[in-house]
Structure 1
Amino acid sequence: MSGRPDARQQAAAEALEVRKRMRETEEAILSRAPEHDLVPSLDRIAAVMELMGDPQKAFPVVHLTGTNGKTSTTRMVERILRESGLSTGRFTSPHLHDIRERISLNGKPIPAEKFLAAYADAIPFIELVDARSLAEGGPRMTYFEVLVAVAYAAFADAPVDVAVVEVGMGGAWDATNVADGTVSVVTPVGIDHERFLGSSVEQIATEKSGIIKADAIAVSSEQLPEVLQILRDRAEEVGADLAVEGERFGVLTRELAVGGQQVSVRGLAGDYPDLFLPLHGMHQAHNLATAIAAVEAFLGGGEQRLDPQVLGAALADVTSPGRLEIVRRSPTVMVDAAHNPAGAIALRDALQDSFTFARLVGVIGIFEDKDATGILEALEPVLDHVVVSRTTSPRAMAADRLGALAVEVFGEDRVTVVAELPDALDTAAGLADEGGVAGGVIATGSVFTAAEVRMLLGATET
């Protein structure tokens, strides 16, 4: 008995030390250039991978790119593969609350000890490549590049049977692209990150098509004709098989259901009727069709039908935090990470499709480098009022400036500017209550907005 308190104290001390090391490590990573400020190149991450013995080659990869829908589709693919009996790694970005969310093992954020171990494995080589780059007048590795190195080291060490990897930005020069995807997935392509990817969908599609590798199977969601042609050209160039939604797979039927939707899907290898998907919006049904095709491509080359019971069990457990997610009732408060016009249009359509509010109020916070007017115009038809604010992110547009843009779209009577997000949320809830029990709030405009509202309301599970 006398030894038990000492054991508990030792365990508590060790846990405290891990938390301290995790804070110090995260601060060191955050001291690097952020993921939106980079010098496009695979040279640095490729050099680190080579020095580490190319851990990204220790497991097969399902690689996903696109403008919208990447994270939800990634989570669906991983969940189906895990339910199929495989040990999985999942890499997504950005995170909502904890940096470890980006690197998941078997559906759970990587434990702090494993994160620290992978970082310890990678950092000597990262620092060596930093020194070489600085000596040549180049930059240190970025925040995102370091996290990719940590993720691939962790997946190799686990080890995982498959890694499901979402790009950070673009495709060809995205740091994740040092891995060669057995299956490459392209979700809908639109305009975003123009500074790095180009100002036309053709330029952006060309960059994103770079994840399609030789002899891979490529799976594409429905695309604009000009985007689809670029994907076809890339697949032909490298000898990949391209399966396109609407041609070889797609959504057959869809009905609203309590807590989500009932969807029937045609996959590459068969039909899957009456699947319950606990996510809202037609765009999520299309994400599901793409995810099913990707899993079929990985498990059986697109020729082996998935077990319907396994598929059903996986989908019943699918989540996509921060994507049209209800985080509170009375009034209903939802968050969505839409941060470009295409994402805002998908959100608008989902709100019209899946919800009936007597009064819907938006809490809007948008980054300075985003198309704020395009986002506001997309949401205007479904919002009775907007409360404009800003998050704690240094990239956030000032509330007054965003408010002036909102007035141009909504008119002065439908816009309230509240500088602090907690106060903005309270104001929006009060305005929604004017609609009675059928009032609602949607907080959107950036991943940061969704994350901070989630945290304010105590929703931290991911």
Structure 2
Amino acid sequence: MDDVFSVESIYAELRGRAPETQMAPRLDAMRLAMDFLGDPAHSAPVIHVTGTNGKTSTARLIERLLLAHDLRPGRYTSPHLEKVNERICLDGEPVDDRTFVRVWDEIRPYLQMVDAHLAEQGEVPLTEFEAMTALAFAIFADAPVDVMVLEVGLGGAWDATNVADAQVSVVTPIDLDHVHMLGETVEEIAQEKSGIIKPEGFLVSAVQKPSVAEILLASARENDAEFRFEGVEFGVTERTPGVGGQVVTIQGLAGRYEDVALPLLGAHQAENASLAVAAVEAFLGGGDKELALDVVRVAFEEATSPGRLEVVRNAPVVVLDAAHNPHGIEASAQAVGEAFNIKQLNIVLGILSDKDARSMLDILRHHYAESEAFETRLYLTQSTSPRAIPVEELAELAVEAGFDEDALEVHERLDNATVAAISDAAAREELDAAVLITGSITVVGEARVLLGG
């Protein structure tokens, strides 16, 4: 071959393509790519996951359950924290570099032909996410896998992953996010996300706002799809938080799963687990077949969700949480207050410019700065992403949100902010001080590299 590829060079090439924000919603380009590649999007049945928060954690938990049933899953999620291979997983692990490079080398000429055809039609060539999704489908077909677990990149109906036909569609809680592209109301966003529900499929939904539930229900009925909602047909019935996680009892669609150890923090992760159980019950037995309790326990006992309330250090405790929108920050704050007995919390925070930073800061102030349980200090920073809010601007928003200027530190570099927050917490050992690094996924990913997470 003329080109010698590496994972890094492939990712650089992908990053050179247009982002989704620079094109109108479309699926024709992906359908054309699938035609050129032999339709790998239909090489295995699909469990498709959309929603606003909890998608990646839910997809990982579904994957664990499938593995415990001796199935070979392929999982596609985004974005990655440290290395692009994380987005495409086989057997629960990121695809190895050799396979990533080999399959890209095989499909690249076909994608270039698709690009040329699109250019002739006056359309934007395959975007970064479209090309990455095509690569994921090709890797899964090459493996091959028994089932694909696909997380939408953005929205649902027009997402590149939606060229696949889901046997089970999973919807995590829907809230406001990406309003410039998906709609300014939760109802508009729900309409977009309901587009992954396929004819004669199966919808499994988290608890939703009534207006959102109505939209999902209407879409399921229009598609003659079965539907089940958390809080009605399934859900968490008992939950006992503990050190390093929690013990939960889940009422599924077909069975009751008692005393299941879940090494993830927060009520929202318990809810993600119940959603995963219901999704796999729907996939394996149409919602009528109970899973073996010991299989569920084995599946969840080693569950991980990197960068989601992940403890990466002790003494002082350092927690990474990619809570990148108001809904995520709210869930994170409740989980931190429940999981850690601390008297001081140092928050390292960086946010991307397309997020509702002011609302996120309002939630942080309410849960932390106004808390009588512990003192809070905010270490404002920014990731290396070009979309990061400049730290000076973030500081102005924090003051507007009501944070005391004396409780703020501003660091242009994430490494400096992290060192300062950890050093201060270590010096206040008598206060049981902890560090929370949160905000954008890019901040958490870069911090994870710094701390060896």
Same fold (TM over 0.5): yes
In structure 2, the partner of 1:271 is 256
- What is the CA distance between 1:37 and its match in structure 2? 4.3
Structure 1 residue 258 corresponds to structure 2 residue 238: no
Aligned to 2:152: 167
Q: How does 1:26-425 map to 2 (within 5 A)?
A: 26-380=11-365, 381-383=367-369, 384-409=376-401, 410-425=403-418
Aligned with 1:436 (options 429, 436, 443): 429
Residues 1:402 and 1:313: Cα distance change in structure 2 (over 3 Å): same
Partners of 2:282 and 2:192 lie apart in 1 by 23
Spell out, residue by residue over 1:92-134, the C-alpha distance to the aligned partner (whole angstroms, 9 max, x if none).
0000111111000001111112112221232222111211222
Could you tell me how far 1:429 is from its partner in structure 2? 1.5
- CA-to-aligned-CA distance 1:361-402 (integer Å, 9 cap, x gap): 110000011110111111222251111001111110100000
SS at match of 2:322: coil
Match of 1:449 in 2: 443
Q: Give the distance between the partners of 2:22 and 2:447, measured in 1 at CA.
A: 25
How much does 1:38 deviate?
4.0
Tell me by how many angstroms 1:323 deviates.
Answer: 0.2
CA shift for structure 1 position 21: 2.7
- Report deviation, 1:36: 4.8
Partner Cα distance (2:225, 2:107) in 1: 32
Distance between the aligned counterparts of 2:205 and 2:288, measured in 1? 17
Letter in 2 for 1:233: A
Instruction: Provide the rounded CA distance (Å) in 1 between the counterparts of 2:398 and 2:408.
Output: 7
Quote the Cα distance in structure 2 between the aligned partners of 1:356 and 1:144: 41
Task: Quote the offset at 1:229 in angstroms.
Answer: 0.3
Distance 2:50 2:446 in 1: 25
Deviation at 1:22, TM superposition (A): 2.5
Conserved? CA contact 1:359–1:434, under 8 Å: no
Count of residue correspondences: 442
Separation of aligned partners in 1, 2:450 and 2:317:
14
Deviation of 1:33 (Å): 1.6
Gaps of 5+ in 1: 1-16
Indicate the SS of the match to 2:26: coil
114-123 vs 353-362, which moves further: 114-123
Task: Give % identity.
Answer: 46
Distance of 2:364 and 2:248 partners within structure 1: 26
One-letter code aligned to 1:405: L
Instruction: For 2:362 and 2:346, locate their aligned partners in 1 and report how far apart those are by CA, in whole Å.
Output: 15
> Could you report, residue by residue, the CA deviation over 1:200-258 in whole angstroms, capped at 9, with x for unpaired residues?
00000000000000011110000000100000000000100110001100010001122
Tell me the amino acid that sits aligned with residue 436 of structure 2.
I
Runs of 5+ consecutive residues of structure 2 not aligned to the other structure: 370-375
Q: Is the 8 A contact 2:153 2:161 kept in 1?
A: yes
The answer to whether the 8 Å contact 1:118/1:151 transfers is: no
Kindly indicate whether the alpha-carbon contact (under 8 Å) linking 2:379 and 2:411 is maintained by their aligned counterparts in 1. Answer: yes
Instruction: Give the AA of the match of 2:175.
Output: G
Q: TM-score, normalised by structure 1?
A: 0.94
Q: Which amino acid aligns with 2:251?
A: R
- Report the CA distance between 1:427 and its aligned residue: 1.4
SS of equivalent residue, structure 1 residue 407: helix
* Structure 1 residue aligned with 2:373: none
**How big is the alpha-carbon RMSD for the aligned residues of Structure 1 and Structure 2?**
1.3
The amino acid that maps onto 1:404 is: E
For the Cα contact (< 8 Å) 2:243–2:339, is it kept in 1? no
> Which residue of the other structure, out of 16, 25, 31, is the alignment partner of 2:10?
25
The Cα of 1:434 is off from its aligned counterpart by 4.9
Aligned residue number for residue 372 of structure 2: none
What is the deviation of 1:48?
0.4
Q: Secondary structure at the match of 2:412?
A: strand
8 Å CA contact retained: 2:46, 2:150: yes
Aligned partners of 2:176, 2:206: CA distance in 1, in Å?
A: 16
User: Which residue identity does 1:114 align to in structure 2?
Assistant: T
Amino acid at match of 1:455: V
Are the counterparts in 2 of residues 387 and 417 from structure 1 also a CA contact under 8 Å?
A: yes
SS in 2 for 1:156: helix
Cα 1:38/1:445, change in 2 over 3 Å: farther
